[in-house]
Amino acid sequence: MYVELKNINKSYGDFKASKDVNLGIEKGSLVALLGPSGSGKTTILRMIAGLERPDSGDIIIDGVRVNNVSPSERGIGFVFQNYALFRYMTVYENIAFGLEIKKMPKKEIKARVEELIELTGLKGFEKRYPNQLSGGQRQRVAFARALAPNPSLLLLDEPFAAIDAKVRQELRSWLREMIYKVGITSIFVTHDQDEAVEVADQIIVTNKGRVEQIGTPKEIYKTPDTPFVSEFIGRSTLIEDYHKLKGFEKGDYKGAIVRPEFVEAFKSDNKVFSEVMDCSEEGVVTDILFRGDSLELKLNVNGIELTTFRSLERRKVEIGEKMRVIIYRLYAVDDEKAYLLENQELKDKDIKNRRLEAYLYSSDGYFVV
């Protein structure tokens, strides 16, 4: 483990920002700290950077306990949420600042800054001031500035928050590519699950000062450990009367999480579904929303409101129409854990390995093994 946090506690007055945080990050990985605002993710990042001190616990970087090492000695690069570029310095001066502080010879500074400007595609912008740059360019400068002194760990606080939605998409892949090119261990904070899933290869989900789950994006998505993770990830809704749905029995749970991709709705004359027709139940379309690339259907099934997506290529549906509905699976939750519940009737039919996936809504659907 390159970075390790052991039993970290931190409070601000009465507010507990970190409760017994334990985590490890491997060298060379790109990790997202994901959680809602106030979940303590930024506190963790700032403690690793040395901008905050933990009340108790150990922070270890590269095998050395760094609790008492000053931020500038920890060998980290930090990209601030709003980049915190020096407004009265040019792009060149911004990137060179850290090197000048380290008293590097002028010639070497020049070479290093030019190398970084080349790497980040900022050629021609050296003499500009931050307010003459677009949001994306500023992020590049912040990134180059953080990398200049050759840190071994890069920390980024909400690196995309200050950028408008259109450019954000582009920058995500840019940043990911850059980090792999440089090969630096990186941790970034985000509240946006799409961002975490897309950019990171390891996600740490935080909630109320605790670490809820650590895993790859796929693990977090497919096998949530806790009620919080199962509800926070994806477009999840909590339903209490899950046992009223066909194929599920009541267990000792508080409720169940259902996501749109777990719900299949089809017309009763649909031939591809004929084999599983008797596993389905009736649902009434209560609302249809156009989502651009698909339709979002709201269905009332046995008094429970469910949501599913429907491809625009499929037949037209109307509000009030009665459809057949199958729920592939749910995440049942109690106070501490989340459990995967499969649709029992579908399972009994044992049609798992037949090529039925062709008509399923999502490649992530039940039948795909």
Partner 1 sequence: MAYLKGDERKELAIKTTRRSKPVVKWVLISTSALFIFFMLILPLVSVIVNSLKEGFDFYFKAISTEYVKAALLVTLLATVITVIVNTFFGIMASWLLTKFSFKGKQFLATLIDIPFSISPVIAGLAYIMTFGRSGWAKPVVDYINSTFGTDIKIVFAIPGVVLATIFVTFPFISRELIPVLNAQGTDEEEAASLMGAKGWTIFKRVTFPHIKWALVYGIILCTARALGEFGAVNALSKTRGETFTLPLEIDALYLAGSADSITASFAVSSILVIIAVVVLILRNIFEHKSKSM
Interface residues with partner 1 (CB under 8 A) are 49-51, 71-73, 76, 78, 80, 82, 84-89, 97-98, 101-102, 145, 149
* 339: its two tokens: 């459990």
Q: What's the CA gap between 367 and 262, in Å, rounded?
A: 11
CB of 32 to partner 1, least distance (A): 21
Of 166, 158, 216, the residue nearest 35 (C-alpha): 158
Beta pairing class for 185-190 and 30-34? parallel
Give the residue with the Cβ less far from partner 1, 73 or 177.
Answer: 73
Q: What's the CA gap between 338 and 231, in Å, rounded?
A: 10
Count of C-beta atoms within a 10 Å radius of residue 24 = 15
Which residue type, as a one-letter code, is found at position 160? Answer: F
Of 131, 134, 154, 135, the residue nearest 144 (C-alpha): 154
CB of 86 to partner 1, least distance (A): 6
Give the residue with the Cβ less far from partner 1, 13 or 320.
Answer: 13
CB of 258 to partner 1, least distance (A): 34
Give the contacts of 47 (CB within 8 A, at least 6 positions apart): 5, 8, 10, 18, 53, 54, 59
Give the residue with the Cβ less far from partner 1, 102 or 354.
Answer: 102
Give the residue with the Cβ less far from partner 1, 98 or 234.
Answer: 98
CB of 156 to partner 1, least distance (A): 13
CB of 132 to partner 1, least distance (A): 12
Give the residue with the Cβ less far from partner 1, 50 or 247.
Answer: 50
CB of 141 to partner 1, least distance (A): 12
Q: What's the CA gap between 57 and 144, in Å, rounded?
A: 32
Give the residue with the Cβ less far from partner 1, 85 or 196.
Answer: 85
